[in-house]
Amino acid sequence: MGAGMRAWVGAWRGAPVRRTSGRVAGLVVLVALTVLLCLVSLAVGAKAVPLEHAIGALTAYDPALADHVIVRESRVPRTLAALLVGAALGLAGTVTQGLTRNPLADPGLLGVSAGASLAVVLGLHVVGFQDPLGYVWFSLAGAAVTSVFVFLLGSSGPGGASPMRLALAGAATTALLGSLTAAVLLLDSASLDRYRFWAVGAVAGVRLSTLADLLPLLAVGAVLAAGSGPLLNSLALGDDLAQGLGVQLGRSRALCATAVVLLVGTATAIAGPIAFVGLTVPHVARALVGADHRWVLAYSAVLAAVLLIGSDVLGRMVARPGEVQVGVVTAVVGAPFFIALVRRRRLASA
C-alpha cells in the first residue's frame, strides 16, 4: 500500500504509474469515487434530500414521498446523463488525440461540435424541436458530416494529414459553421431563445426515456472507442511503422472516426456542446498512466465522468436555489487544473 501511494505521488510529479497492479488500483479508486459522486448528486440540489431517502428512492420507490419523486424524476436522469456524457467525451477526446497524433486535438477544435451546433440550430429553426430526441439525429448528422469534411480537408494536398493541417482545417470549419449558426440565430429570435440554453451545456431537464433511446448509440461508440487502444498504440508510432505492423490505415481511421462521431454527436445532443472535457481529460490520464492508450482510454472515461458529475453537483451548490450549468462549471473547474498541468510539465507531445 505504501509503495502504491508513493507511485501515485510520483505520477503527479511527472512519473506515470507503470505497474499494472497500481493502474488497476487507481482505476478502482476512481470508479468508487464515481459511485460516491453519483450518490451525492442524488442528494444535493435546490431541495436537499437525505442520503437514505436518495438510496431508498432507488431500492424501495414510494411515489407518495416527495423526496423519492424528486430523486427519481429529476436527479437520477441528470446524474446518468452526466455520467454518460462525461465518459463519452473522455473517450472521444482520447481517440481524437491518438488518431491525429495531436495533443491539441479535441472534437471541439476539430469542428465536430460546431457541426452538431449548426445542425441543431437548423433543426430548431426549421422544425422547432423541444426535446433532445428530436434533434439528436440532426446533431449526429452534423457531427458526422463535419468530421468527414474536416478530415478530408486536412488530409488533402500533398503531405497528408499533418496535425497542424488538421487543426487549421478544424479552425476554418468551426469559423464557417459558427458564422452560419450566428446568421440563423440573428434572423430567428425564438430559436436563439432555446439555443442559448442548449449551447451553455446543461444536463438539467434530461428525461430518462431520452437517455434510454440514445443509449445504444453511445454504447456502440464506447465499444468501438474502448477497442481502439491497441490500434492507437500502433498509430502513435507513425503511419509507416503502423502499416508495417499490419494496421490498415484507412479502415482503422474510419473506425475511430465512427466512434468519435457517435460519442460526440450523441453527447452533444443530450447536453449541448460541452467544451474542454475532451481536450483536457486525456492529458490528465496520460500524466497518470503514461502513453499506453488502452489505459489512457479507461482512465479518460472514468475521469471525465467524475469531472462532469462533480461539476454538475458543484453547479447546483454554488447558486442555490438556482444553478450554474455544468458546461460553465467544467470550464471554470477544469481550466485551472489544465493550466497548472501545462505549466508543471512538458505535455507528452505524442
Partner 1 sequence: MSQLDVAAPAAQVARARTAARRRSIVVGAVLAVLVTALFLLSLSLGHTIVPPADVVAALLGTDTSRTAFTVVELRAPRAFTALGVGLCFGVSGAVLQALARNPLASPDVVGITAGASTGAVAVIVATSAGTGALTSSMVSTPLAALAGGGVSGLVVYRLARARGVVTPYRLVLVGIGVSAVLTSLTSWLVTRASIDDAQKAAVWLAGSLGARTWDDAVPAVGAACLVLPAAAVLARRLRVLQLGEQTALALGVDVRRTRRALVAVSVTGAAVATAAAGPIAFVAFVAAPLARRIVGSTLTVVPAALVGAALVLAADLVGRTAFGAVQLPVGIVTGVIGAPYLMWLLSRPQRIGQGE
Task: Please tell me whether residue 327 binds partner 1 under the rule CB under 8 A.
Answer: yes
Closest by CA position to 119, among listed 100, 96, 143: 143
Closest by CA position to 170, among listed 139, 149, 142: 149
Name the residue nearer to partner 1 (CB basis): 22 or 201. 201
Give the C-alpha distances (Å, rounded to integers) separating 338 from 149, 188, 287: 29, 37, 11
Segment interacting with partner 1 (CB under 8 A) among 220-228, 251-259, 275-283, 290-298? 275-283
Q: What is the dihedral of CA 173, 175, 176, 178, to 10 degrees?
A: 120
CB 174 within 8 A of CB 111: yes
- Residue 122, Cβ neighbours under 10 Å: how many? 17
Name the residue nearer to partner 1 (CB basis): 143 or 202. 202
> Mask 218-237, x = binds partner 1 (CB under 8 A)?
--------------------
DSSP letter string, 79-118: HHHHHHHHHHHHHHHHHHHHHHT-TT--TTTTTHHHHHHH
> Under rule CB under 8 A, how many of the chain's residues touch partner 1?
54
> Mask 47-76, x = binds partner 1 (CB under 8 A)?
------------------------------
Task: Please tell me whether residue 167 binds partner 1 under the rule CB under 8 A.
Answer: yes
Show the cell assigned to 50: 437525505
Instruction: Pick the binder of partner 1 from 162, 243, 252, 258 (CB under 8 A).
Output: 162
Name the residue nearer to partner 1 (CB basis): 165 or 294. 165
Task: Please tell me whether residue 46 binds partner 1 under the rule CB under 8 A.
Answer: no
Closest by CA position to 234, among listed 252, 261, 222: 252
Instruction: Pick the binder of partner 1 from 57, 95, 153, 203 (CB under 8 A).
Output: 153
Closest by CA position to 125, among listed 182, 175, 184, 73: 184
Instruction: Pick the binder of partner 1 from 76, 110, 199, 281 (CB under 8 A).
Output: 199
Question: Which residues make up the interface to partner 1 (CB under 8 A)?
Answer: 104, 109, 153-154, 156-159, 162, 164-165, 167-169, 171-173, 175-176, 178-180, 182-183, 185-187, 189, 192-193, 196-197, 199-201, 275-276, 279-280, 324-325, 327-328, 330-332, 334-335, 338-339, 342-344, 347
